[in-house]
Amino acid sequence: MPLSTKDILNNNIGIENKHNSLTNRELEYLSLVALGYMNKKIAEKLIVTLSTVKKTLENIFRKLNANDRANAVAIAFIHKIIDEKLLAETCIKYKIPEYKLLKVLKTVGS
């Protein structure tokens, strides 16, 4: 059963290795999720099928013991799996408007 963010904060066992278990490509997917992109838009940005996006996100959720997109992003920020720099790099690489990055950073308090 997936852990809640509270559970993970209370029990960090293995979290420090979560970043290492996500591939660079999975970090791109997770960054796009953090920037507010839904599956269809992620598929367009990464030039993959919708089923590839769904399967990749399922793998990310499993690796992070996340319940859903919001939980995965929260876990990723809390444990510094994704950060301001990675999101900025994703924005540049995929020509994402700066306001999306600023909105996320305001939300997470960076």
* Fold designation for 5-108: Rossmann fold (3.40.50)
Spans of all domains in the chain: 5-108
- Cβ–Cβ contacts within 10 Å for residue 103, how many? 13
Separation CA 53–CA 101 (nearest Å): 21
Spell out the alpha helix ranges (H) of the chain: 5-10, 18-21, 24-34, 39-46, 50-64, 69-78, 84-93, 98-108
Q: State pTM to two decimals.
A: 0.82
Give pLDDT, residue 12.
Answer: 45
Residue listed under structure tokens 């959720």: 61
Give pLDDT, residue 65.
Answer: 96
Give pLDDT, residue 13.
Answer: 44
Q: State which residues of the chain have pLDDT below 50.
A: 3, 5, 8-9, 11-13
The pair of structure tokens assigned to 62 is 């499993």
